[in-house]
Structure 1
Amino acid sequence: MTFPTFVDLLRQLYVNVAEHEFALPDKQQTDSRVSLLTGVHRKEVSRLRGAGAPVRVVPDSVSRTSAIVARWLADPSFVDARGIPLPLPRASEAGEASFASLVESVTRDLRPRAVLDDWLDRKLVEIDENDRIVLMEGAMVPRGDGEVRLYYFARNLGDHAAAAVQNILADDPPFLERAVHYDGLSEQLAKSLEAYSRKLAIDTLLHLNKHANQSIQSDPGGTSRWNCGIYILTSDGTSLVAEEPPQQKDAGGETS
């Protein structure tokens, strides 16, 4: 992604978050107020708002794929006793777990065969020696699809920024936003900590997904939404900040 493209996307993100998350009660959000909140020129604000805000538009490839994968990772019918997604036959008798029953449990607007062909092409699944469909790790990580990656970039960065800003403005910070950080480490230890934290993070997200997926079965629905994200960063200390790397180990705890 080129720098001008990144800047334009970030500009759209700022305008979108300001418009939807910082509107005053019972007042129409104006270009002037969005410009004041973001620092983006009023003419640019008008152009971006008129073009439609991209952050809340969920691509079909995101909404359908993520919903089916989330069900595969959470529903007891499609995981084993350890919570690992089961290899699924293409179809089976009524009441038995299969790829067809998985897709149909989420949507009947798509044919399971069409979903399977698309996922095989995108390498989200593979066929094992017993002709069963196996979920690949890549199904949980948007890679080749630029539209999907840009959507999650905008959504996650927007939610993180909104939570951070509200934590700063509120007397009693309403959202959890914490990080554990250590500086002055060897490259070997940094990689070891990354691998360990990655495992814990994936386990946590899978557990949360299972709980949420089961909870929505009895939820009447509404307009609220929930997002819990985790990020992990390992760097050499010089590539992201313009300062000398610390000479001593610096242990950091929780940061708001």
Structure 2
Amino acid sequence: MQSPTLPRSLLGALRRVMRPLVRLMLRKGVTYTVFADLLKEVFVDVADREFRLDDKVSSDSRISLLTGVHRKDVRRLRNESETSIATLPANITLSAQLVNAWTNSRPFCTDAGQALPLPRLASVGGKCSFDALMAKVSTDIRARVVLDEWLRLGVVRLDEQDRVHLEAQAFVPQKGFDEKAAYLGHNLHDHASAAVHNLSGEGLPFFERSVHYDALAAVSVDTLREAVAKEGMQTLLNFSRLAADLENLDSPGIEQRQRITIGLYFYTEPTDPVSSMTPAP
């Protein structure tokens, strides 16, 4: 039985947030037992990292009191390998840097920030080639290796003139479960972190807004989907160019750097006929 001091509104929100995650887990064979063990690790790790008193390492007993996890499990989990906060894999980070250069740096894009089709080889396109784009970001990995991976993921395509076209104006793999799963963790973590920060009422709130309607016809939904895909992507590209310009202007120093995430999403599902009924006058 839940403690009566726990906010019912919070528990209801958590239940709703968990539904799509549980849906994904059931589809992929992640059972409750597996998830419970994973959740136990997260509870211990967050309590250990973020809920210390006077910045002192907490005892197993205190973490057990905070989390409700048995002290034996707390000790075992803390003695096992150090849990690290997941970051995007190196291949995705490199790819994101390449897309950013492709859409923001001349001569690889237009003034409007649209990625140009690039000749694959420097021997053909010179400084405006996929080889040159790769060399701008990294000299440690061959351009052909990245190109083959991007072709596999559906990020780019090759035309009959051996030119490379960017299929998505941000690095969003069309294939590749591992890459998609990495973005699931990154994007949901940062969106949830912003929402949790705003709920705490501490410090300046993060911008976190949405538009929602519940009585649209399917054709109207399709119109909105296309508008978000086009105008939303352009908005994100504008923010990306601004961030790139500011990063280039930031002077090096001892000040700690910060990362940002800016997101925009679209979702639709059938409206619950019960909740959408209009009361009779």
Q: Helix, strand or coil: the match of 1:133?
A: strand
CA contact (8 A) 1:164 1:177 kept: yes
Label 1:168 to 1:121 Cα distance change in 2 as closer, same or farther (>3 A): closer
- Alignment partner, residue 182 of structure 2: 151
CA RMSD of aligned residues (A): 3.5
CA distance 1:19–1:86, shift in 2 (3 Å):
farther
Stretches of structure 1 that go unaligned for 5 or more consecutive residues are 249-256
Structure 1 partner of 2:14: none
Specify the code of the residue in structure 2 equivalent to 1:208. F
Shift of residue 106, structure 1, vs aligned partner: 0.9
Aligned residue type for 2:220: L
Calculate the TM-score normalised by the size of structure 1: 0.77
Q: Which moved more, 1:155-164 or 1:182-191?
A: 182-191
Q: Please give the per-residue CA displacement for 1:163-218, whole angstroms capped at 9, x wherever unaligned.
A: 11111111565211111111222222223222222322111111111222233233
Q: Answer yes or no: is the 8 Å Cα contact 1:191–1:234 preserved in 2.
A: no
Question: Residue in 2 aligned with 1:252?
Answer: none
Match of 1:2 among 6, 25, 41: 25
Tell me if structure 2 keeps the 8 A contact 1:86–1:134: yes
In 2, Cα distance between the equivalents of 1:45 and 1:153? 30
Counterpart in 2 of 1:142? 173
Show the counterpart of 2:148.
Answer: 117
Rounded Cα–Cα distance in structure 2 between residues aligned with 1:195 and 1:37: 47
Partner secondary structure for residue 30 of structure 2: helix
Could you tell me whether the CA contact under 8 Å between 1:35 and 1:45 is conserved in 2?
Answer: no
SS in 2 for 1:78: coil
CA distance in 1, matches of 2:130, 2:88: 24
Q: Find out whether 1:237 has 2:260 as its counterpart.
A: no
Note if contact 1:55-1:151 (Cα within 8 Å) is conserved in structure 2: no
- Give me the whole-angstrom Cα distance separating, in 1, the residues matched to 2:179 and 2:224: 28
* Corresponding residue SS for 2:107: helix
Check 1:141–1:52 CA distance in 2 against 1; reply closer, same or farther (3 A cut): farther
Q: Higher mean Cα deviation, 180-189 or 89-98?
A: 89-98
Residue of structure 2 in register with 1:228 after alignment: 262
- Partner Cα distance (1:155, 1:189) in 2: 31
In structure 2, the residue matched to 1:163 is 194
Instruction: Flag the 1:36–1:151 CA change in 2: closer, same or farther, 3 A.
Output: farther
Match of 1:61 in 2: 91
Query: Alpha carbons of 1:203 and 1:54: their partners in 2 closer, same or farther (altered >3 Å)?
Result: farther
| 1:190–1:126 Cα change, 3 Å | closer
Task: Decide whether the 8 Å contact of 1:77 with 1:97 is kept in 2.
Answer: yes
User: 1:104 and 2:141 equivalent?
Assistant: no
Q: Is the 8 A contact 2:154 2:174 kept in 1?
A: no
**What CA distance in whole angstroms lies between the structure 2 residues aligned with 1:50 and 1:127?**
47
Distance in 1 (alpha carbons) for counterparts of 2:153 and 2:69: 38
Identical-pair percentage = 34
Q: CA deviation at 1:131?
A: 2.0
Could you say if the C-alpha distance between residues 16 and 99 of structure 1 is closer, same or farther in structure 2, counting changes exceeding 3 Å? farther
Equivalent residues, number? 245
Greater mean deviation of Cα atoms: 165-174 or 64-73: 165-174
- 8 Å Cα contact 1:75-1:213 kept in structure 2: no
From 27, 46, 54, give the equivalent of 2:56. Answer: 27
2:122 is the counterpart of 1:92: yes
Question: Whose radius of gyration is greater, 1 or 2?
Answer: 2
Question: Does 2:231 match 1:206?
Answer: no
How far off is 1:79 after superposition?
Answer: 0.6
**d(CA) in 2 for partners of 1:54 and 1:143?**
28
Which among 66, 72, 77 is matched to residue 107 of structure 2? 77
Q: Is the 8 A contact 1:125 1:139 kept in 2?
A: no
Q: Where does structure 2 lack aligned partners over 5 or more consecutive residues?
A: 1-23
